[in-house]
A = this chain, B = another copy of it.
């Protein structure tokens, strides 16, 4: 099946290319970019920042305008900036394209699935609703903000087993989350930046939407404090949880270890065997050693312990922000959609 990537020169666009490059179902058929890049070979237009080499075949593709008329594809992955995504993604959906988007523009639209497949596979059902309301044959489906993707994957087994009442999360986010060039080195060497524009609101609302029923956000409270640290890839999150039913650290660990969902059952190509991996070492997870777990699609949880404030648990979770938290999640969504006949 043919895949197009909108906004392919940015950091998430590059990650899409890396992940789709040898994908067993999808083949990269078109790359689009901003005016500056259109008509140029992708290899010349991009500041390639992945650790693996850009394949020559991809590097020779000519960058197309981000316009439905220039794209022929079974699925369209959007790595567009939020402002541009708003209209452009709708334009593609109207023309019948399936758009799986990493942009925040449509995430909170009630009829747009905001999906982290292991956490809310059933939200795919919103697509039918969306088509009816918007009168189009295409679809827009979104993946969460990077911090939310990591958080909700770790929360899902707890929500399922014990129910959630309150969640407090403090993040230590990687520089790659801000794109390229993104965070200036003068801002992050020997430093922490305790602010990421709009991030905390996204984490709070998106988490409720994902862990709720389709169309019905969950009602537990979420409070986030988001910070940037000197890390290339991998968001680390300290999480404090008050559950509805009491749960010991051991029970929490067990429910995480046993957790699998539809993507695992359907053996989707990008689904990690264990979506939530737990560590017994007391100083893990660490970005440099754990961000590659499950090819970047698993989250790694450590330090599950009792919390004296909530009489609940606290733990640390880590996930790869541009794989599980962005491009990888979107690819898994597309695989989920294909498995259900939407693509």
Contacts and interface: CB of A to CB of B under 8 A. Distances in A.
A17 interface: no
A84 interface: no
Nearest to A292: B51
Contacts of A187: 181, 185
A283 B236 CA distance: 19
A170 B169 CA distance: 9
A175 interface: yes
B238 A191 contact: no
A256 to B, nearest CB: 16
A82 to B, nearest CB: 19
Contact of A287 (B183, B192, B308): B192
A146 interface: no
A132 interface: no
B186 A182 contact: yes
Interface stretch (A24-32, A155-163, A226-234): A226-234
Contacts of A302: 194
A86 B249 CA distance: 33
B236 A167 contact: no
Contacts of A282: 195
Interface stretch (A94-102, A111-119, A133-141, A217-225): A217-225
A238 B185 contact: no
A225 B204 contact: no
Contacts of A307: 223
Given A189-B190, A223-B240, A240-B223, A172 B175 contact: no
A179 to B, nearest CB: 9
A193 B180 CA distance: 16
B170 A175 contact: no
Interface in A225-266: 225, 227, 229-232, 236, 238, 240
A18 interface: no
14 contacts: A11-B186, A170-B170, A172-B229, A175-B185, A180-B184, A182-B184, A184-B185, A190-B231, A190-B287, A191-B286, A192-B229, A223-B309, A227-B316, A230-B230
Q: Closest 10 interchain pairs by CB?
A: A170-B170, A181-B184, A225-B238, A195-B283, A223-B309, A170-B238, A194-B316, A191-B288, A230-B230, A175-B185
